[in-house]
């Protein structure tokens, strides 16, 4: 499995959300997808994005604490 940095994963999910926002409404209109499925899938990807962003913030906080500890010891 490729080692994809977290920031690149976040950008990929953001692109996917934008793409789904363009494609899924058309699919609903064409009856290729139900509206409830469209809403669920977009909400799921938004949840993934928020999870990755929270992980990114947590990792940034750990790095700051680690740097502070190095400076104070």
Q: Tell me if 1 is assigned to some domain.
A: no
Q: Tell me if 25 is assigned to some domain.
A: yes
Query: If pLDDT is split at 50, 70 and 90, which confidence band does 67 have?
Result: low
pLDDT at residue 70 tops 70:
no
Range of the domain at 16: 10-72
Q: Tell me if 2 is assigned to some domain.
A: no
Count how many domains the chain has. 1
Q: Is pTM beyond 0.85 here? A: no
Q: Tell me if 67 is assigned to some domain.
A: yes
Tell me how far apart the alpha carbons of residues 56 and 6 are, in angstroms, rounded to a whole number: 7
Q: CB within 8 A of 23, min separation 6: which ones?
A: none
Q: Tell me if 5 is assigned to some domain.
A: no
Mean pLDDT of 13-40: 98
Mean pLDDT of the chain: 91
End-to-end Cα, the chain, rounded Å: 38
Q: Tell me if 32 is assigned to some domain.
A: yes
Q: Tell me if 3 is assigned to some domain.
A: no
């Amino acid at each position: 499995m490729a080692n994809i940095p977290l920031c690149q994963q976040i950008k990929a999910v953001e692109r996917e959300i934008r793409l789904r926002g363009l494609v899924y409404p058309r699919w609903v209109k064409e009856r290729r997808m139900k509206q409830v499925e469209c809403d669920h899938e977009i909400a799921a990807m938004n949840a993934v994005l928020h999870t990755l962003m929270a992980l990114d913030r947590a990792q940034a906080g750990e790095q700051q604490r680690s740097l502070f500890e190095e400076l104070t010891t």
